[in-house]
Amino acid sequence: QVSVALKEGRVTPTELCQRCLALIKSTKFLNAYITVAEETALKQAEESEGRYKRGQPLGILDGIPVAVKDNFNTAGIETTCASNMLKGYISPYNATVVQKLLDQGAVLLGKTNLDEFAMGSGSTDGVFGPVRNPWSYTKQYKEKSVPKFHSEDQESNWVITGGSSGGSAAAVSSFTCFAALGSDTGGSTRNPAAHCGVVGLKPTYGLISRHGLIPLVNSMDVPGILTRCVDDAAVLLGALAGHDPKDSTTIQDDFKPFELPDLTDVSKLSIGIPKEYHAPGLSSEILALWSKAADLFKNAGAKVVEVSLPHTRYSIVCYHVLCTAEVASNMARFDGLEYGHRSDVKDSTESMYAATRREGFNDVVRGRILSGNYFLLKQNYEKYFVKAQKVRRLIANDFVKVFRSGVDILLTPTTLSDAAPYTEFIQEDNRTRSAQDDILTQAANMAGLPAITVPTALSERGLPVGLQFIGRSFQEKQLLTVAKWFEKQVQFPVIQLEEVKRHDSAVFQHQKSASFS
């Protein structure tokens, strides 16, 4: 809609950019952005305006404000991964996905907050502080939250965004941008998307280039897409997918961007409900929503079957081992010599490295590096690392079997419950939380399959809950088509931010139902 408005001249890219920048300032308490690239954004908006005036926009994304998670390299803009290790690091190049967005004319507003090095499921462990869920400040949440919280306590009642792409999710959800990039290694895009009531897409591994994305787990990382509706996600996907000679893990097949058809007949569809996803700890609310969704498909004529993915409960353990092992390797590059933080210790190279890493990494990162190194020790290699790789194959095969039996799409919950209050979340340490929260999203990363979370309904506390669809490898079109149908059926309510509404009602009116496709 916004794209059409830009083309028709009802709003100009600079106006749009300025409104978004103003909104970012007034929602600063959310702590969604680490760096706001005001000058460059305005310049990009001006250039876009020039193109529209000449009647030559580069495409749908021309002039659209977007935000990028701070673990993507952006030329000339500080890239920190929310870590002391990279504070002050100005990337010399653009990640391929960032470059693709800029080539399409998108306006890069800034870099969003995350868990340090994308490790975590709350966006609470970065050095710039935790990200607050915009839904903590809505009429819907305040009305439904326990009445004993007076307005003075409001400050401590806010809920987390989920992680690790929390900043991106909060940014899209609070209307400060129209789309954002995140990364997804164990659910890092889908988890915050579900908690913030936005669409979170994890593409098939190998579809979108990882060049420029600071790696966590090379065999599972993918750039993730966060938008307000499924159509927008399809547009972003179209702009970003495709082979990249700079990333040898992208497939060489031609990718054709697609528009999503409006599905009316679901009778030929077979939806699988994996019974193992009824995990311990799943809230009864979400279980009920999941059921309702299955019924929705059934009543519309689709075939809904229960399926089994027997190794689901080992997926998180397997992930734990493989992730820490690859992290131990990937974090080895941070030694202070070529970039990033460097300690003042001068006695020897090793002691300088050790001191730099001691000063630069937080507990979570250090913990994972040490665990990873443990699993990779010669005496443990077979027992843990190779074993985990074997279990990985079993998990991937589970999916293959299910898809081969005729199921088209799997329907599962995305999270175990709605967003937790920050004070509650930090009671447990990062590893425990990740192990709990990633359970439903993780297996798709193991098997490299595409998955999307669609905001479904508000919980009893007035917070968003999303449901997840998992599709076959490289069948994003089918996956998104079904997701779009579902989105239309559930009619998820628009967020009603309280504080912000007072100041920027004009901006808000315009952007309230805005999507750019």
Partner 1 sequence: QKVSVEVLDHLEHLALVDFRDSEGVERLQKAIQFADQLHEVNTDGVEPMDLVLEDRCLYLREDDVTEGNCTKELLENAREKVEEYFVAPPGNIPLPKLEERETFLQGS
- What's the CA gap between 107 and 38, in Å, rounded? 10
Task: With CA atoms as reference, report the closest residue to 105 among 32, 188, 186, 7.
Answer: 7
Of 158 and 205, nearer to partner 1 (C-beta) is: 205
Three-state SS for 184? strand
As a 3-state breakdown, the chain gives helix, strand, coil percent values, each rounded to 5, of 45, 15, 40
Of 290 and 384, nearer to partner 1 (C-beta) is: 384
Query: Are 114 and 37 contacting, i.e. CB atoms less than 8 angstroms apart?
Result: no
Catalytic machinery residues: 69, 164, 188
CB of 52 to partner 1, least distance (A): 33
CB of 215 to partner 1, least distance (A): 14
CB of 379 to partner 1, least distance (A): 9
Query: Are 418 and 456 contacting, i.e. CB atoms less than 8 angstroms apart?
Result: no
Task: With CA atoms as reference, report the closest residue to 457 among 486, 499, 498.
Answer: 486
Of 43 and 431, nearer to partner 1 (C-beta) is: 431
CB of 109 to partner 1, least distance (A): 24
Give the HSE-up count for residue 502: Cα atoms under 13 Å, Cβ half-sphere: 7
Three-state SS for 226? strand
Of 85 and 260, nearer to partner 1 (C-beta) is: 85
Of 58 and 345, nearer to partner 1 (C-beta) is: 345
- What's the CA gap between 510 and 514, in Å, rounded? 7
CB of 175 to partner 1, least distance (A): 34
Q: First-to-last CA distance in the chain?
A: 5
- What's the CA gap between 60 and 227, in Å, rounded? 14
CB of 478 to partner 1, least distance (A): 19
Q: Tell me how far the alpha carbon of residue 29 is from its chain's centroid.
A: 20
Backbone angles phi, psi at 354, to 5 degrees: -60, -45
Interface positions with partner 1 (CB under 8 A): 89-90, 92-93, 205-206, 219, 245, 248-249, 251-252, 311, 314, 317-318, 320-321, 324, 328, 335-340, 342, 345-354, 357-358, 361, 363, 366-367, 369-371, 373-375, 377, 383-384, 386-394, 396, 429, 431, 435, 447-448, 473
Of 299 and 349, nearer to partner 1 (C-beta) is: 349
Provide the H-helix boundaries in 219-270: 230-240
